[in-house]
Amino acid sequence: MSKKIAVAILNWNGKSWLEKFIPSVILYSENADIYVIDNLSTDDSIAFLQSSFPSVKIIKNDKNYGFAGGYNEGLKHIEAEYYCLLNSDVEVTENWIEPVLNLFEKDSSISAIQPKILSFNNKNYFEFAGAAGGLIDNLGYPYCRGRVFDDVEKDKGQYDDETEIFWASGCCFFIRSKDFWEQKGFDERFFAHQEEIDLCWRLINSGKKIFYTGKSTVYHVGGGTLNKQSAQKTYLNIRNNLSMMLKNLPFPKLIWLIFFRLCLDGIASIYFAFKNGFSHLWAVARAHFAFYGQASRTWKRRQKHQKEDFYQTKWLIFKHFLGGKQNRI
């Protein structure tokens, strides 16, 4: 009989991560079914799981669909009231699931939840990908409580609350299965990066809530597939961010914001070139070409309603880089 919650770990040639972290998932997830969704790995991940952790259920995708498509394909084969989409490079802790379930059952309008995400390599600090819950500014730049751009806060208990946020991190993403499928899952064209923000935005536009709980903690390595210096990551983040805005922003704001972001991304490409190399400048240009090339198809995916008050702060990039405001906004 299927349990109320299923933990689904997407894998692509990640035997070393599974070997290191899946024991904690098994140890502390006794009330959940545990799945590994494999994106046609060419290492011996599957053989390793079958021999070492036979209780883990394995779903084999027929190709590498990326993060977005990989989960969309794999979750079709999982029956549960709630999904937890968990990165393979995450260490979970005792009692990490119960506070999340309590929040879901307290408020039926909550669609997605993330726990406190700390750095596995520096456990006193928040981790880049999610920290204490995702927010967004009026220019469409995602940031987190506990992390603004590359500046990360030390965990001093300042985010031990439970509160509404704008987006939940894909590295440990709890969602009601009903709501996931009502939104038709992730946008597979994103492949990877910011697809969870797009999904959360669509949920908010449909009247749902996204929450954070500091009563649950996980530790994330980060950069297991693409590190922060990857030009491909720069490309995906910028292309997907623009597509996400086109899908979810109210129309009056959309035109000026896309134009303004074109100018800011041009400036950012020069900064990236000096900091990380010319490949990043070209990645920004490619991202814009790709965005405009699929804009008509993206427009067709817009929902009927978009919230006007979508952002939590204004002009984040200027406050951060020009105003000397480093962390908390």
Report, as an integer, the average pLDDT of 249-272: 84
Q: What is the DSSP code string of 74-110?
A: HHTT---SEEEEE-TTEEE-TT-SHHHHHHHHH-TTE
Domain ranges of the chain: 1-88, 231-321
Lowest mean pLDDT among 7-21, 33-47, 86-100, 269-283: 269-283
- Identify the helix (H) or strand (E) that includes residue 151: strand 151-152
Lowest mean pLDDT among 4-8, 173-177, 219-223, 243-247: 219-223
Residues 169-213: tens digit of each pLDDT: 999 999 999 999 999 999 999 999 999 999 999 999 999 999 999
Lowest mean pLDDT among 35-39, 211-215, 234-238, 250-254: 250-254
> Residue 121 gets which letter from DSSP?
S
Q: Return the pLDDT at 185.
A: 98
Closest CA to 152 of 320, 22, 323: 320
Would you give the end-to-end CA distance of the chain in angstroms? 46
Q: Return the pLDDT at 223.
A: 63
Residues 36-84: tens digit of each pLDDT: 999 999 999 999 999 999 999 999 999 999 999 999 999 999 999 999 9
Report, as an integer, the average pLDDT of 153-174: 97
SS3 call for 61:
coil
Q: Return the pLDDT at 262.
A: 85
Write down the CATH superfamily of domain 1-88: Spore Coat Polysaccharide Biosynthesis Protein SpsA; Chain A (3.90.550.10)
Mean pLDDT score of the chain: 92
**pLDDT tops 60 at residue 228:** no
Closest CA to 189 of 87, 71, 68: 68
The count of residues in the chain is 329
Q: Return the pLDDT at 327.
A: 53
Structure tokens at 225: 């597939």
Q: Return the pLDDT at 230.
A: 85
